[in-house]
Chain A
Amino acid sequence: MIRDEAHWQELQRLFDLCAELPPAERLPALNSACDDPALRERVLALLAASEEIDSAANSPPPPAFIGPYRIVREVGSGGLGVVYLVERLADGVRLRSALKLLAPAVADDSFMERFRREEQSLAALEHPNITRLLDAGWSADGRPYLVMEFIDGVPLDVFCDSATMSIAGRLSLFLQICDAVSYAHGNLILHLDLKPSNVLVSSTAIVKLLDFGTSKFMRANVDTTIATAATPAYASPEQLLSQPVSTATDVFGLGTVLFTLLSGGRPFGDSSVVARIERAVRALEAESLCGNVTPESAAARGLTEARLRHLLAGDLEAIVSKCLRHRPQDRYASVDALAEEIRRYLRCEPVLARRQTWRYRGTKFLRRHRLGLAIGSAVLFAILASAAFAWQQQQRALREAERAVRMQTYMYRLFKMANPENTGKPAATVPDLLRVGMAKLPDYIHDPADLRSAQLALAESMVDSGSLDEALKAFATVKESAQRANAPADFTEAEIFMGQTLCQQGHIPEGRKLLADALAYSRVHDIPWRLRVLAKVYYAWNEENNGFRTDENLAMLHAAAQEAEEHGLAPRDAALALNDLALDMYIRGHGTDAKPIFEHLLTLYADDPLALCDRSGLYGQIAWIDNTNGNPSASLPLFKKAYDGFIECEGPDSPGALDELPYWADALTRLSRATEAVQLLENAMPTWRRVVGGSSDNSDMLYFLARAYIATGRYRDAETTAGELLSLLTGKVAAEERSLGAAHLVLAEALAGQQREREALPHADAAVTILGPTAVSAYGHELNREALRLQSRLRALTTGHETLNSPE
């Protein structure tokens, strides 16, 4: 017996030599390469061990029966397990089905119990594109299995490629998938494992989705949700990071299917679970669709490589990447919204895969608060309270007791649906809940006027939670019903919010028209003061915000705020009027005049426990006005209040809390405490990258960090950070947007600080070009002045250098 460590290198060399050869040639080769018989024997032993492993790794033959099912043949295998075609005798009839034998890891003791609980709701899924789940059980050797309808078909991508199907044909098939998923979502069932291999196409060209709802009786623990995904290549970031799943998780899954269907590649390549988690933690977005085009994938679509790239670039790339966004709330709000987008593409209409920004502070302008998407009891309460409020106003005719009972039933149902403990389903998100709530409303409210009122309340909450398409549908329904019933108030309200929502989606001309119509209508009809005020506020604000600025608009906002007070509007509506007036004053450069209004708003919100986020936003807004109007020291305690408030209402790593930090840091920088500013932002960077990184809407973190670096003389770090900022914004925001100008400015400063004037000058020029026209607010002017100063300094320096260097 030899000691391995004494011959280690030689052992490995001889082993490799033999392992590369066919078995018969090994011995002669070994004999001629090595003359030590003991060493040869050792190599052969290791080779034998290696062979044994390889043969063990081949899967063992299947048993004849699993449970009561006789195995006919294997029809496929994947990471999750093996699928068999099986038969079972029932009443003398031989029934065929598919049996999926799973790895022990994907289920636990409660597997059957949870299957029984879900069985009913899954049985209710009657859809031509969804395969039915028939049975589940444990095999004799302790592995869980599922039995489902047998589909004689091939995987989606194989089907499309072998038929050399065109992009349009593939998109039509994809719409069938969306339809099935949307149907399931309507029944509050998520798929959570959507990927190309889970979609079969039958011999009759019908798409069939496999494994619907099965994720629910796999392991319940969030730590292991990934265990339900066969290959990590398709799991969503929230699944990888053990965060709550929602319909947005399925939008992501659909994105992976679309990615493969269109390009032939996979959105995250061939990564292990660990590597995917790393990507998810770093909030890295998926690979580019066009980058995955190969000569083979182009040929399978009947196109040349260049032509396929050209087809995918632009709209389709934007659609797929919106599905695959890291943050669930950045994806399409629903499967229907995604399907509608695909239809728009097929009809050659412009797609909407771009996000509106609603921020007005810092390099942008201001922010508006959106509701968090994960369900929180406070949010749920707010929705229900708003629905209840609308009802109580309208349902005076109903007897008190009857009203209370109906309300209770409705709320009970909603809570029951929202609570994962009750249903075994993943926690519903606000959009899920609103959608179901909206669908169920007619079951509980029969009076058309009451129904409209409740629908409006829920639809307005849908706008707050970002489900704009769904909200639009609801507003349209209300508008139509109000027109038939000749109810001018509901008609106006629906029209106002439709207009506002359209503007928010970027359909500015349509939105403006509706808002103008609503305003005109509100002036001649007898409707409540609340709606007259809202018509003015929304009309004027949208005009101002979309670049149609007139003094009449400002005057209208003034009038609306005054009327709100005179006619005793509810605090929520009065606050809205005041808020939009103050914001308008702010963006017109009258921040100091707007400040007392923001302060007054704080008192309006003071007693509302649900308005903590709003109050925090106001503190931040006031702090920013102080900071940019020569009083940064007064802003420090306010920034802290804003930050602490967001932590309390949204959580420590929330976008709201993170948003405050760059502005807070700017105040520190101005107070010659830039080292603290750097520290504050550097500490927050990893969280920022994880939570909102990669989004051009939240780029102020990078901007103010770069500024703080400059103030501490760390020009190299400033250059790196500014470079990242610029590449984040380029192509994502409009070429004339202020944030882009600010990015150029800070990069120019970082370069100038390193005496690299020639490189700095083009950036300073770009900054001046952009910042000039956007200089309205105090901060806008400040940036513009800075850019002009830097530009002229750099010009002087570079021409100076040229003189020095010139041969004359």
Chain B
Amino acid sequence: MTELLRRWTEGERESMDPLFNLVYPRLREIAGALFRRESAASVLQPTGVVNELFLKLVSRHTLQFENREHFFSLAASLMRRILIDHARAAHRDKRDGGVRVPLDENLVWIETMPSVDVLDIDRALVALEKIDPRKSRLVELRFFLGTTAEEAAEILHTSKATVDRELRFARGWLYDHLQSTDGLAGTRLDPR
């Protein structure tokens, strides 16, 4: 498990699959239960998911806390994936209510773009990831997992100033990407 995490954080994203298989079904279940209870807008709080993840990975001794950086990155990535999967399911059900991600006040800007939903953001993130995987991880940590800038800096072994700077840039880039029709139409859905 630890080895898988290490490879994953070092860029071998496909090594994530066994991890996903281990924890994802139950997380999906929790998230699904949350969504079902929602009314007009679907909103997911990270609490239940993160809780389960901690208990599953940490308390079973499959993961030492020395790997907390890996752990948080994994959790953030899982949160993103849960939201995306849910949004896809919502699209399939043709009851597109738009899925919002209320994890951080930094995400208010997404709500101001009415035509944009989580799927668009995911596509933009996939594009960002291709150019700069580190920034896409940062976005996941701050926006999808809701960590503070200080915590994200600790997780990524850098300073808060760097995190703030990189995030400001990534945010601008994503927003620009979402606005350009090129960005919306041009990027194909990642089949993963």
Contacts and interface: CB of A to CB of B under 8 A. Distances in A.
Interface of A: 4-5, 8, 12, 15-16, 19, 45-50, 52-53, 56-57, 103-105, 108-109, 142, 219, 221, 223-227, 240-242, 270-275, 277-278, 281-282, 682-683, 685-687, 690
29 contacts: A8-B131, A8-B132, A15-B169, A15-B172, A16-B165, A46-B176, A49-B176, A49-B179, A50-B169, A104-B40, A104-B102, A223-B30, A223-B45, A223-B48, A223-B51, A224-B45, A240-B51, A242-B48, A270-B150, A272-B146, A274-B146, A275-B147, A278-B54, A281-B51, A281-B58, A682-B61, A685-B61, A686-B58, A686-B60
Interface string B58-91: 1111000100100010010000000000000000
A52 B108 contact: no
A346 to B, nearest CB: 37
Contacts of A271: 148, 151
B151 A224 contact: no
B145 to A, nearest CB: 5
Contact of A108 (B38, B68, B145): B38
Interface of B: 30, 33-34, 37-41, 43, 45-48, 50-51, 54-55, 58-61, 65, 68, 72, 75, 102, 105-106, 108-109, 112, 130-132, 145-148, 150-151, 165-166, 168-169, 171-173, 175-176, 179
A49 B34 contact: no
Nearest to A226: B47
Contacts of B173: 4, 46, 49
Contact of B54 (A8, A57, A277): A277
Contacts of B145: 272, 274
Contacts of B169: 12, 15-16, 19, 46, 50
B54 A227 contact: no
Given A108-B39, A223-B45, 7 more contacts: A57-B105, A142-B41, A240-B51, A241-B51, A272-B148, A274-B72, A281-B58
B39 to A, nearest CB: 5
B46 A281 contact: no
A249 to B, nearest CB: 15
B37 A221 contact: yes
A47 B58 contact: no
Given A270-B148, A274-B46, A278-B54, A49 B172 contact: yes
Contacts of A275: 147-148, 151
A12 B45 CA distance: 32
A242 B47 contact: yes
A50 B39 contact: no
Nearest to A5: B131
A223 B34 contact: yes
A225 B45 CA distance: 10
Listed from nearest, the 10 A-B pairs whose CB atoms lie closest are: A223-B48, A50-B172, A49-B176, A56-B112, A686-B59, A49-B175, A53-B109, A105-B43, A5-B131, A49-B172
A690 B48 contact: no
Nearest to B113: A56
Given A47-B172, A241-B51, A109 B60 contact: no
Contact of A53 (B43, B75, B172): B172
Contact of A687 (B33, B48, B59, B148): B59
B147 A50 contact: no
Name the prevailing secondary structure of the A interface residues. helix
Contacts of B41: 104, 142
Contacts of A223: 30, 33-34, 45, 47-48, 51
B112 A219 contact: no
Contacts of A281: 51, 54-55, 58-59
B43 A104 contact: yes
A233 to B, nearest CB: 11
Contacts of A142: 39-41
Contacts of A273: 45-47, 50, 146
A272 to B, nearest CB: 5
Contacts of A682: 61
A57 B51 contact: no
A282 B38 CA distance: 31
Nearest to B179: A49
Nearest to A60: B112
B176 A45 contact: yes
Contacts of B43: 104-105
Nearest to A107: B39
A227 B45 contact: yes
A690 B55 CA distance: 9
A599 B112 CA distance: 72
B35 to A, nearest CB: 11
A103 B41 CA distance: 11
A16 B162 CA distance: 10
Q: Point out which of B59, B72, B132, B145 has the most chain A C-beta atoms below 10 A from its C-beta.
A: B59
Contacts of B61: 682-683, 685-686
Contacts of B48: 223-224, 242
A57 B108 contact: yes
A108 B47 contact: no
Contacts of A105: 43, 45, 102
Contacts of B151: 271-272, 274-275
A46 B128 CA distance: 14
B109 to A, nearest CB: 4
B81 to A, nearest CB: 16
A686 B43 CA distance: 31
Given A142-B41, A683-B61, A46 B47 contact: no
B47 to A, nearest CB: 5
A272 B147 contact: yes
B147 A274 contact: yes
A682 B37 CA distance: 39
Contacts of B105: 57
A586 to B, nearest CB: 34
A740 B166 CA distance: 50
A52 B172 CA distance: 9
Q: Point out which of B47, B68, B75, B106 has the most chain A C-beta atoms below 10 A from its C-beta.
A: B47
A4 B168 CA distance: 16
Nearest to A15: B169
B60 A57 contact: no
B58 to A, nearest CB: 6
A720 to B, nearest CB: 13
Contacts of A225: 47
Nearest to B68: A278
Contacts of B38: 108
Contacts of A226: 45, 47
A273 B47 CA distance: 7
A113 to B, nearest CB: 13
A590 to B, nearest CB: 40
Contacts of B175: 49-50, 52-53
Contact of B39 (A15, A52, A109, A241): A109
Given A19-B168, A274-B146, A57 B109 contact: yes
A400 to B, nearest CB: 49
A146 to B, nearest CB: 17
A682 B131 CA distance: 43
B121 to A, nearest CB: 13
A51 to B, nearest CB: 8
Q: Point out which of A45, A219, A278, A687 has the most chain B C-beta atoms below 10 A from its C-beta.
A: A278
Given A49-B176, A242-B51, A686-B58, A282 B65 contact: yes
B72 to A, nearest CB: 7
Nearest to B154: A275
